[in-house]
Chains A and B, each alone.
Chain A
Amino acid sequence: MELLGKIGPYNEVADEYDAAASVEALSESKVLVIGAGGLGCEILKNLSLTGFKKIHVIDMDTIDISNLNRQFLFRLKDVGKSKAEVAAKFVESRTQGVEIVPQFCKIQDKPLDYYKQFVCIICGLDSVEARRWINATLVTLAGEDIIIPLIDGGTEGFKGQSRVIFPSINSCYECTLDLVTPKITYPVCTIATTPRLPEHCIEWANEIEWPRIHSTKFDADNPDHVEWMYQTSLARAESFNITGVTKSLTLGVVKNIIPAIASTNAIIAASCCNEAFKLITNCNPMLDDYMMYSGDESIFTYTYKNIKKSDCPVCGNDLKVVKAEKWWNLKEFIEEIKHQKDIQMTNPSLSTKFQKLYFSSPESLRLATEKNLQMKLSDLVGDEEVIVTDPKLPISLRVRIVFN
Chain B
Amino acid sequence: MTIDKSNKYDRQLRLWASTGQSNLELSHICLINGTTTGSEILKNLILPGIGNFTIIDDKEITTNDLAGNFFLTNDNIGQLRASALCESLMELNEDSKGHAITDSLDEIDDSVWDRFNVVVVSDYIDPEFLDTLKTKLFKKEIPLFIVNTVGFYGTINLIINEITVIETHTSQLFDLRIDQPWQELSELSDSYQLDSLDDSDHAHVPYVIILMQALRSWSDSHNGPPTTMTEKRQFKKFVQDQSRNFTFETNFNEAVSSVFRAYQKTQVPSMVKSLMNNDKISDKNLNNETPFFWILIRALKSFVELYGNLPLPGTLPDMASDTNNYITLQNLYRDKAAKDKELFIEEVKRVLTIIGRLDGLTALEIELINIFCKNSHSIHVTSGSSQMTSKSLLEQMLSNKSNDYDNEEYNHLAIYFGIMTFNHFIKQNNHVPEESDYDNFIKLFSEVFECHPDLPLSALKTFKEIVCHSSSHYHNISSLMGGIASQEVLKIATSQYVPLDNLYVFDGIRSQSDKYKI
Contact = CB atoms under 8 A, between A and B. Distances in A.
| Co-complex (A, B) | yes
Interface of A: 2-3, 6-10, 42, 45-46, 49-50, 65-66, 68-70, 72, 94-96, 157-158, 162, 194-197, 240-242, 248, 251-252, 257-267, 269-271, 273-275, 277, 284-285, 287-288, 291, 295-301, 303
A49 B323 contact: no
Contacts of A275: 511
Interface pairs A-B: 3 shortest CB-CB: A266-B483, A270-B480, A267-B483
A9 B465 contact: yes
Contact of B43 (A258, A262, A291): A262
Contacts of A240: 323, 327
B475 A69 contact: no
A261 B479 contact: no
A299 B13 CA distance: 21
A262 B48 contact: yes
Contacts of B509: 8, 10, 284-285
Contacts of A258: 11
A72 B204 CA distance: 50
B293 interface: no
B70 interface: yes
B153 to A, nearest CB: 11
Contact of A157 (B15, B69, B488, B500): B15
A263 B511 contact: no
A196 B11 contact: no
Nearest to A4: B469
Interface in B243-288: none
A7 B515 CA distance: 28
Contact of A262 (B68, B486, B508): B486
B414 to A, nearest CB: 12
Nearest to A187: B250
B473 interface: yes
B513 A301 contact: yes
Interface stretch (B1-9, B119-127, B448-456): B1-9
Contacts of B14: 157, 248, 252, 257, 259
A6 B466 CA distance: 11
Nearest to A265: B483
A248 B500 contact: no
B464 interface: yes
A72 B468 contact: no
B5 to A, nearest CB: 10
B480 A266 contact: yes
Given A270-B479, A270-B480, A277-B476, 13 more contacts: A2-B471, A7-B468, A8-B468, A45-B475, A49-B67, A162-B511, A240-B327, A248-B13, A261-B12, A261-B490, A262-B44, A266-B43, A275-B511
Contact of B484 (A42, A50, A95, A299): A299
B476 A257 contact: no
22 contacts: A2-B469, A3-B151, A8-B151, A8-B464, A8-B469, A9-B461, A9-B465, A9-B468, A49-B69, A69-B9, A94-B73, A196-B318, A196-B327, A240-B323, A242-B323, A248-B13, A262-B483, A263-B483, A263-B484, A299-B487, A301-B513, A303-B511
Contacts of A8: 151, 464-465, 468-469, 509
Contact of B487 (A65, A68, A195, A295): A295
A66 B476 contact: no
Contacts of B480: 266-267, 270-271, 274
Given A2-B473, A296-B497, A158 B487 contact: yes
A45 B408 CA distance: 31
B469 A266 contact: no
A267 to B, nearest CB: 4
Interface string B8-38: 1111111100000000000000000000000
Interface string B490-518: 10000001111100101011111101000
B483 A274 contact: no
A298 to B, nearest CB: 5
Given A50-B475, A240-B327, A284-B509, A298 B468 contact: no
B474 interface: yes
Contacts of B515: 298-300
Given A261-B490, A284-B152, A50 B511 contact: no
Dominant secondary structure at the A interface? loop
Interface of B: 4, 6-15, 40, 43-44, 47-49, 67-70, 73-74, 92-93, 151-152, 168-170, 204, 318-319, 321-323, 326-327, 330, 405-406, 408, 435, 461, 464-465, 468-471, 473-477, 479-480, 482-484, 486-488, 490, 497-501, 504, 506, 508-513, 515
Contact of A194 (B323, B464, B499): B323
Given A69-B11, A69-B48, A261-B12, A299 B500 contact: yes
A274 B482 contact: no
Contacts of B7: 65-66
Contacts of B93: 68
A297 B497 contact: yes
Given A194-B204, A263-B490, A296-B169, A158 B497 contact: yes
A66 B11 contact: yes
Contact of A266 (B9, B49, B482): B482
B70 A94 contact: yes
A10 B487 contact: no
Given A72-B92, A261-B48, A264-B487, A46 B323 contact: no
Contacts of A273: 476, 479
A266 B487 CA distance: 10
A10 B461 contact: yes
A96 B66 CA distance: 11
A270 B477 contact: yes
A106 B515 CA distance: 41
A301 B512 CA distance: 7
Given A9-B465, A299-B488, A72 B47 contact: yes
A158 B326 contact: no
Nearest to A51: B475
Nearest to B498: A297
Nearest to A303: B512
Q: Which of A274, A275, A291, A296 gathers the greatest number of chain B CB atoms within 10 Å?
A: A274
Q: Which of A68, A72, A95, A258 gathers the greatest number of chain B CB atoms within 10 Å?
A: A72
Q: Which of A252, A260, A295 gathers the greatest number of chain B CB atoms within 10 Å?
A: A295
Contacts of B405: 10
Contacts of A46: 475-476, 479
A158 B483 CA distance: 11
A42 B70 CA distance: 11
Contacts of B326: 196
Nearest to B151: A3
Contacts of B70: 45, 49, 94-95
B11 A298 contact: no
Q: Which of A8, A275, A297 gathers the greatest number of chain B CB atoms within 10 Å?
A: A8
